[in-house]
Amino acid sequence: PTVSLLFFFLFSPADFSDGVLITQWPKYISSPPETSVEMHCYQNDTDYDYKYWYRQIRGEGLVLIGSYNFNSPSSEKGFETGFTMSGTETKKWTLTVDVKEGIDAVYLCAASLHSE
């Protein structure tokens, strides 16, 4: 059977002057189709209530998968199924992806103070 590869990179908000630190793991993962994988992000500043997941397929631009704030996930068009956003605490958020062919991508998270 084919194996899909998902690559995760650290999103390092080096430009942020107030120094919120975001950690993303795992760095990469591979899993066969018909399974699901989880990726996580952690930020050390509780003020950053708005969380985001993006992905970038090779040769394409960055696309917003959805946002998550105050325990309420909001999926973008085209990501309503197969992508589940969750969070058990204010500082950590999780994206669960159903693995299928063509889903290989770089997945990135971000956090912000406002819904921009």
Q: Which residue is nearest to ligand NAG (CB)?
A: 19
**Beta carbon nearer to ligand NAG, 20 or 29:** 20
44 vs 74 by CB, closer to ligand NAG:
44
Interface with ligand NAG (CB under 6 A): 19-21, 44-45
Nearer to ligand NAG, 45 or 49 (CB): 45
Please give the distance of CA 72 from its chain centroid, rounded to a whole number. Answer: 15
Minimum Å gap between C-beta 74 and ligand NAG is: 25
In angstroms, give the least distance from the CB of 88 to ligand NAG. Answer: 19
Q: State in angstroms the smallest separation of the CB of 11 from ligand NAG.
A: 14
Buried b (16+ CB within 10 A) or exposed e, 89-110: ebbebbbebebeeebebbbbbb
Least distance (Å) between residue 95 CB and ligand NAG: 22
Residue 25: partners with Cβ closer than 8 Å, 6 or more residues away: 8, 39, 40
